[in-house]
């Protein structure tokens, strides 16, 4: 279970900026940003290409160092990648020489978790992501959607407090994408984890999130920070796709799309 009390998992950015040195000078990818993400939130980041979404996610992942300011999770400064933050990329990054189960058990194995416990946990995760019959397959035998499910299971096996997702469904067909969106919401509800999700799709962001951040480019910054409440929302209920047909959904989607257009 995720510890919610006392802001243990709260993500706090204070004056975080990132500049890149390029041949034509210095590019401000993220201008000074203050941001607090509470434990259990599902926060999506949307905005035009080049506005700094990936930069922000990679700062959270610890893959990049900020040029200014500080990031922390609870009391811990983010000083590099860490097991408290799991990352799901757009292109699946499964180890091709391992089975799906081997991929899921890789992290726990490195941590010295004993074989029997690893097996029980990978069984649970395979069921959770709908791959109970595919544990012995190699990644190349899976469809794109199944590979993303496997990648999510592999991240969950490390039990991170926060899951960072960089356009994880961007390369999938529309039907698979919708199915995985609903599955992700179910996982998020059941696990209580914090999710930060980068996407190009405003509809995807509104459907999935409790909160959407809109960024604008040059210099990259958060211009809208919008809480999302949709009909039927309740703490113990998973949104279903029918909500996307409601006027409330359409109004929020149009508002955020306009903000991106004006950005």
Which residues contact ligand ADP (rule: CB under 6 A)?
20, 22, 27, 29, 47, 49-55, 220
Tokens 């500049």 -> residue: 19
Give the Å distances, CA to CA, from 222 to 53, 129, 146, 170, 229.
Answer: 10, 33, 33, 22, 20
Strand order in the sheet with 211-216: 85-88, 162-166, 194-198, 42-46, 211-216, 221-227
- Smallest separation, CB 51 to ligand ADP (Å): 4
Comparing CB distances to ligand ADP, the nearer of 145 and 220 is: 220
Smallest distance, ligand ADP to C-beta of residue 119, A: 38
Instruction: With CA atoms as reference, report the closest residue to 207 among 262, 147, 154, 256.
Output: 256
**Which CB, 55 or 181, lies closer to ligand ADP?**
55
CB of 217 to ligand ADP, least distance (A): 7
Q: What is the closest distance, in whole angstroms, from the C-beta atom of residue 235 to ligand ADP in the complex?
A: 31
Query: Nearest approach, Cβ of 85 to ligand ADP (angstroms)?
Result: 17
Alpha carbon distance 106, 104 (integer Å): 6
Q: How far is the CB of 75 from ligand ADP (least distance, A)?
A: 27
Considering the complex, state which of residue 60 and residue 187 has its C-beta at the smaller distance from ligand ADP.
60
Q: What is the DSSP track for 95-119?
A: -TTS-HHHHHHHHHHHTT--HHHHH
To 10 degrees, the CA torsion angle through 244, 220, 65, 38? -40
- Shortest distance, CB of residue 195 to ligand ADP, whole angstroms? 17
Cβ proximity to ligand ADP: between 4 and 203 the closer is 203
Going by C-beta distance under 8 Å and a sequence separation of 6 or more, which residues neighbour residue 135? 99, 100, 101, 104, 122, 123, 126
Nearer CB in complex with ligand ADP: 23/175: 23
Peptide bond into 84 cis (omega under 30): no
Instruction: Provide the 8-state DSSP code for 233.
Output: -
Give the burial string for 94-112 (b: 16+ CB within 10 Å, else e): beeeebbbbbbbbbbeeee
Which residues have CB under 8 Å from 197's CB, separation 6+? 42, 43, 44, 45, 165, 168, 205, 208, 209
């Amino acid at each position: 279970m995720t510890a919610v009390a006392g802001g243990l998992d709260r993500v706090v950015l204070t004056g975080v900026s990132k500049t890149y040195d390029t041949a034509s000078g210095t590019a401000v990818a993220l201008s000074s940003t203050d941001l607090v993400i509470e434990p259990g939130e599902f926060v999506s980041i949307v905005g035009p290409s080049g506005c700094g979404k990936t930069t922000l996610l990679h700062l959270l992942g610890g893959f990049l160092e900020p040029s200014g300011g500080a990031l922390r999770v609870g009391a811990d400064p983010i000083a590099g990648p860490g097991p408290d933050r799991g990352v799901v990329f757009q292109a699946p990054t499964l180890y091709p020489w391992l089975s799906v189960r081997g991929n899921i058990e890789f992290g726990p194995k490195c941590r010295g978790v004993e074989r029997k416990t690893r097996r029980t946990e990978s069984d649970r995760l395979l069921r959770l992501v709908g791959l109970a019959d595919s544990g012995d397959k190699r990644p190349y035998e899976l469809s794109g959607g199944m590979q993303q499910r496997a990648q999510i299971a592999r991240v969950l096996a490390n039990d991170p407090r926060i899951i960072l997702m960089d356009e994880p469904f961007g390369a999938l067909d529309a039907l698979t994408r919708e199915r995985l969106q609903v599955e992700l919401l179910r996982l998020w509800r059941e696990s209580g984890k914090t999710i930060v999700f980068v996407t190009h799709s405003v509809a995807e962001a509104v459907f999935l999130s409790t909160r959407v951040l809109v960024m604008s480019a040059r210099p990259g910054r958060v211009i809208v920070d919008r809480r999302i409440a949709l009909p039927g929302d309740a703490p113990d209920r998973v949104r279903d796709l029918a909500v996307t047909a409601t006027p409330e959904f359409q109004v929020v989607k149009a508002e955020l799309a306009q903000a991106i257009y004006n950005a």
